[in-house]
């Protein structure tokens, strides 16, 4: 078979695989184009800067936990030696520190950064949950609200989105990303960058986005945070890079380097990542900030024997700004004097930082507007948080019509350690979100039932630990009720950074609690709140109704109540595979076939002796209170040239008796390629809302960007051969068609 290089794609990298990306990119180019005269202004400043001032622009320092700055920050700012801060926030404080910077010799403003991950004060679902909505418009909206609130507090830069693909749920930070799939991850990365930055980076209600963690942080060995990664260039380009590329195409002007070692070179000092791919291949014009003390950590990695060498390696590789550790400033001048680091490298890093500051409008509008910070949460923001949380929930199981619950219910039991735990609803990285603003599930359900209904509550057990004291009371409460809702899972600190887990069961006695409640015979619903997939085979087998709610944010309880009582028909889908056991990890839908695909009748095929190979719940799975049927999968062509396009269309019908949402998913398989391809790859999805009996034809373009892959030489190609197309309601099953790419 001939390898075919598309002339249009004869660069090492195609546009990210996103529908309509090329058109959008052109529009975007106009939006985020640098202002005229930018380079002259940057050069003019650079000419006047001392080496000390230059190094100062490359330094980011941490504020106090509550958002205050320290006296040292004021001093450095006055000397023009503080480029950026993280965690300093609050319009008044930001302005005080900014004033000091503007009193410095060259009056270069400080860039104020903060981790606004899924909301600033109005907290939305964790990003993994939001990805489960399969609704990029929702992700864009929540990011826009977060930007509006954060910018009111003087924040000009968020360290989000985290676009790391994660296929190991032991890694706690799966909570912060969009899950296992590069296509879904790219769509969500794009949407979130657009939401944070909008069309005008200088607007007062926008913040700069930062794509992190560049790169491969999500592939930590054994799911242990900060751990080593080792991936082929093929996997990097096919799986890890696409969401970063999408973030860049959406206009992200900053990237954050990852903590991890990648193929023997820690990301923070990795020229392949920072220089070759990001700058030379992709033409990135922004700057890279290190992760927290990651430059210093090059010593622990063993890549540098001391701080000076660490600084030299990180700067030399293209990490422009140093977060928290101060090695650039401590050693930069000496490295230049000794001829170990060309001054040109520092100049270039400073240029990049200044360019972004200009493009963000920081010189024109350095101060935060006073009076825009709202002491209370805005009702329209809360409304969005409630809707997006409900759209993020995934109905994993619903046997025997337990759900939706009837609002005329007389007695409802609400049970579980998370049923009334407001802090945990907010999840990891809640920014300035406050537990007291959150609505617990207990409160949400109380608000939804008729006034004459009795809502009983029992905690049942602690979230973790062996204590069984509450189980009896939970049983008593369940016995009195017409239905029981048991809210179990992980608390906010069990996922996120430095929150890897070796077991993914429900912690403590929570499974015993579920068993005990179910044992009463009362119809039981389990609501899961967690930052990652959990291994819950017993629940999946025995509990009639299971709702995955993730950590849903400030409106958690209302959103759960909306779904449980059917005011919102659940339509979310899993953005990550749920394994049966930890032993199956890594498990993801887009795996390769192997030469010996599992075959129950043949021992010598790829499987386990002690477990099925299939997941507990596959990627893309999610039920509804209504039913849908897909039909009439049609392709607009049976053959096409490698640079051709076709359209796949499929009919979706609501065959049940309630309005509802289905996420129609389109997968491809390149069955005949010079590099083995996954058994399926998502290449399109659409969340549609249909009334009972309503039908809709959904169309998906399939362009070279969707059909190509990285060949043996790491170039993007579309090869002639057979392609299968699947239209489905999850990554399993569905309708199948095929076409052939033929040589021109």
Taking CB under 6 A as the rule, does residue 164 contact ligand NOJ? Answer: no
Q: Between 473 and 512, how does the x/- string for binding to ligand NOJ read (CB under 6 A)?
A: ------------------------x---------------
Q: How far is the CB of 59 from ligand NOJ (least distance, A)?
A: 15
* Of the candidates 404, 435, 431, 410, the residue with the CA atom closest to the CA atom of residue 420: 435
**Rule CB under 6 A: which of 142-161 touch ligand NOJ?**
159
**Cα 157 to the chain's mean position, in Å?**
17
- Our CB check for ligand NOJ shows the closer of 86 and 442 to be 86
- Our CB check for ligand NOJ shows the closer of 353 and 474 to be 353
- Our CB check for ligand NOJ shows the closer of 4 and 207 to be 207
Q: How far is the CB of 507 from ligand NOJ (least distance, A)?
A: 24
Q: How far is the CB of 483 from ligand NOJ (least distance, A)?
A: 41
Which residue is nearest to ligand NOJ, using beta carbons? 159
Question: Cis peptide leading into 161, omega within 30 of 0?
Answer: yes
- Our CB check for ligand NOJ shows the closer of 497 and 670 to be 497
* Of the candidates 199, 186, 204, 145, the residue with the CA atom closest to the CA atom of residue 33: 199
- Give the whole-angstrom CA distance, residue 197 versus residue 21: 17
- Our CB check for ligand NOJ shows the closer of 159 and 589 to be 159
Taking CB under 6 A as the rule, does residue 189 contact ligand NOJ? Answer: no
**Rule CB under 6 A: which of 51-90 touch ligand NOJ?**
86
- Our CB check for ligand NOJ shows the closer of 240 and 463 to be 240
DSSP string over 177-209: S--S-HHHHHHHHHHHHHHHH-S-TTSTT--B-
Q: How far is the CB of 61 from ligand NOJ (least distance, A)?
A: 12
Q: How far is the CB of 675 from ligand NOJ (least distance, A)?
A: 32
Rounded to 5°, the CA angle 31-118-581 comes to 125
- Give the whole-angstrom CA distance, residue 290 versus residue 285: 16
- Our CB check for ligand NOJ shows the closer of 112 and 457 to be 112
- How many chain residues are in contact with ligand NOJ, going by CB under 6 A? 7
- In 3-state terms, what secondary structure has residue 365? coil
Taking CB under 6 A as the rule, does residue 115 contact ligand NOJ? Answer: yes
Q: Which of 93, 156, 170, 212 is in the footprint of ligand NOJ by CB under 6 A? A: 212
Annotate 243-268 with b (16+ C-beta within 10 A) or e (fewer): bbbbbbbbbbbbbbbbbbbbeebbbb
What values do phi and psi take at 186, rounded to 5? -70, -45
- Our CB check for ligand NOJ shows the closer of 135 and 291 to be 291
- Our CB check for ligand NOJ shows the closer of 459 and 532 to be 532
What values do phi and psi take at 689, rounded to 5? -110, 125
What is the largest distance, in Å, between two alpha-carbon atoms of the chain? 81
Q: Between 441 and 480, how does the x/- string for binding to ligand NOJ read (CB under 6 A)?
A: ----------------------------------------
Helices within 88-135 (DSSP H only): 91-102, 127-132
**Rule CB under 6 A: which of 261-320 touch ligand NOJ?**
291-292
Q: Between 85 and 104, how does the x/- string for binding to ligand NOJ read (CB under 6 A)?
A: -x------------------
* Of the candidates 455, 456, 426, 460, the residue with the CA atom closest to the CA atom of residue 440: 426
C-alpha neighbours within 13 Å on the C-beta side of residue 389 = 36
Which pair of tokens denotes residue 180? 């296992």
Q: How far is the CB of 503 from ligand NOJ (least distance, A)?
A: 24
Q: How far is the CB of 429 from ligand NOJ (least distance, A)?
A: 8
Which pair of tokens denotes residue 394? 């995934």
Q: How far is the CB of 697 from ligand NOJ (least distance, A)?
A: 42
Q: How far is the CB of 118 from ligand NOJ (least distance, A)?
A: 13
CA 365 vs CA 78, 134, 151, 350: distances in Å = 18, 36, 12, 20
Q: Reply yes or no on whether 567 is catalytic.
A: no
**Rule CB under 6 A: which of 516-555 touch ligand NOJ?**
none
- Give the whole-angstrom CA distance, residue 308 versus residue 303: 12
Residue of 181, 291, 432, 491 with catalytic role: 291
- Give the whole-angstrom CA distance, residue 421 versus residue 560: 14
DSSP string over 12-52: S-PPPS-TTHHHHHHHHHHHTPPPTTHHHHHHHHHHH--HH
Which residues sit at the interface with ligand NOJ, rule CB under 6 A? 86, 115, 159, 212, 291-292, 497
The catalytic residues are 291
């Amino acid at each position: 078979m001939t390898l075919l290089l598309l002339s249009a794609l004869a660069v090492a990298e195609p546009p990210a695989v996103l529908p309509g990306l090329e058109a959008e990119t052109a529009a975007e180019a106009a939006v985020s184009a640098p202002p005229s005269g930018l380079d002259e202004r940057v050069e003019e400043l650079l000419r006047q800067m001392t080496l000390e001032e230059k190094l100062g622009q490359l330094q980011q320092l941490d504020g106090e936990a509550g958002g205050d700055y320290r006296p040292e920050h004021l001093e450095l700012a006055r000397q023009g030696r503080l480029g950026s801060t993280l965690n300093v926030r609050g319009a008044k404080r930001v302005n005080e520190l900014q004033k000091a910077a503007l009193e410095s010799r060259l009056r270069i403003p400080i860039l104020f950064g903060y981790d606004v991950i899924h909301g600033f004060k109005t907290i939305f679902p964790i990003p993994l949950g939001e990805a489960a909505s399969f609704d990029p418009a929702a992700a864009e909206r929540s990011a826009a609200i977060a930007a509006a609130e954060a910018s009111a507090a003087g924040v000009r830069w968020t360290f989000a989105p985290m676009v790391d693909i994660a296929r190991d749920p032991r890694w706690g930070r799966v909570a912060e990303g969009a899950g296992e799939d590069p296509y879904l991850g790219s769509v969500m990365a794009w949407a979130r960058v657009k939401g944070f930055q909008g069309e005008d980076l200088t607007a007062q209600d926008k913040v700069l986005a930062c794509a992190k963690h560049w790169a491969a942080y999500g592939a930590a060995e054994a799911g242990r945070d900060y751990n080593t990664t080792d991936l082929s260039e093929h996997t990097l380009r096919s799986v890890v890079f696409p969401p970063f590329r999408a973030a860049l195409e959406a206009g992200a002007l900053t990237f954050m380097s990852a903590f991890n070692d990648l193929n023997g070179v820690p990301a923070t000092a990795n020229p392949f990542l920072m220089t070759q791919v990001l700058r030379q291949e992709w033409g990135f014009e922004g700057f890279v900030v290190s992760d927290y003390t990651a430059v210093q950590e090059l010593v622990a990695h063993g890549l540098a024997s001391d701080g000076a060498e660490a600084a030299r390696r990180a700067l030399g590789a293209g990490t422009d700004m140093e977060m928290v550790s101060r090695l650039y400033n401590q050693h930069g001048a000496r490295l230049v004097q000794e001829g170990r680091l060309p001054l040109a490298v520092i100049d270039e890093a400073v240029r990049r930082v200044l360019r972004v500051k200009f493009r963000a409008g920081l010189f024109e509008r350095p101060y935060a507007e006073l009076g825009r910070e709202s002491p209370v949460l805005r009702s329209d923001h809360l409304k969005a948080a409630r809707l997006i949380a409900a759209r993020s929930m995934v109905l994993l199981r619903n046997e025997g019509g337990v759900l939706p619950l009837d609002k005329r219910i007389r007695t409802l039991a609400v049970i579980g350690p998370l049923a009334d735990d407001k802090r945990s609803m907010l999840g990891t990285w809640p920014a300035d979100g406050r537990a007291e603003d959150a609505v617990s599930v207990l409160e949400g359900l109380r608000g939804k039932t008729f006034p004459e209904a009795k809502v009983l509550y029992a905690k049942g057990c602690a979230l973790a630990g062996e204590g069984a004291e509450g189980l009896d009371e939970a049983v008593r409460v369940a016995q009195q009720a017409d239905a029981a809702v048991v809210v179990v899972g992980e608390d906010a600190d069990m996922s996120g950074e430095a929150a890897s887990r070796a077991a993914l069961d429900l912690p403590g006695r929570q499974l015993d609690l579920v068993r005990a409640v179910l044992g009463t015979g009362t119809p039981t619903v389990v609501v899961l709140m967690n930052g990652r997939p959990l291994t819950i085979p017993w629940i999946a087998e025995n509990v009639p109704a299971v709702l995955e709610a993730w950590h849903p944010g400030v409106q958690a309880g209302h959103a759960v109540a909306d779904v449980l009582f059917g005011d919102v028909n659940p339509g979310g889908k899993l953005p990550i595979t749920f394994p049966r056991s930890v032993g199956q990890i890594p498990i993801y839908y887009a795996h390769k076939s192997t030469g010996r695909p599992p075959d129950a009748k043949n021992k010598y095929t790829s499987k386990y002796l002690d477990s099925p190979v299939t997941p507990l719940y596959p990627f893309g799975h999610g039920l509804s209170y209504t039913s849908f049927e897909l039909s009439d999968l049609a392709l607009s062509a049976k053959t096409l040239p490698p640079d051709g396009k076709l359209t796949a269309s499929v009919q979706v019908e609501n065959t049940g008796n309630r309005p509802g949402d289905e996420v129609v998913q389109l997968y491809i398989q390149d069955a005949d390629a010079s590099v083995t391809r996954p058994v399926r790859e998502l290449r399109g999805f659409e969340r549609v809302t249909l009334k009972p009996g309503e039908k809709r034809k959904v169309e998906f373009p399939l362009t070279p960007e969707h059909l190509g892959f990285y060949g043996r030489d790491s170039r993007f190609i579309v090869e002639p051969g057979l392609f299968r197309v699947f239209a489905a309601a999850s990554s399993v099953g569905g309708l199948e068609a095929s076409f052939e790419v033929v040589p021109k």
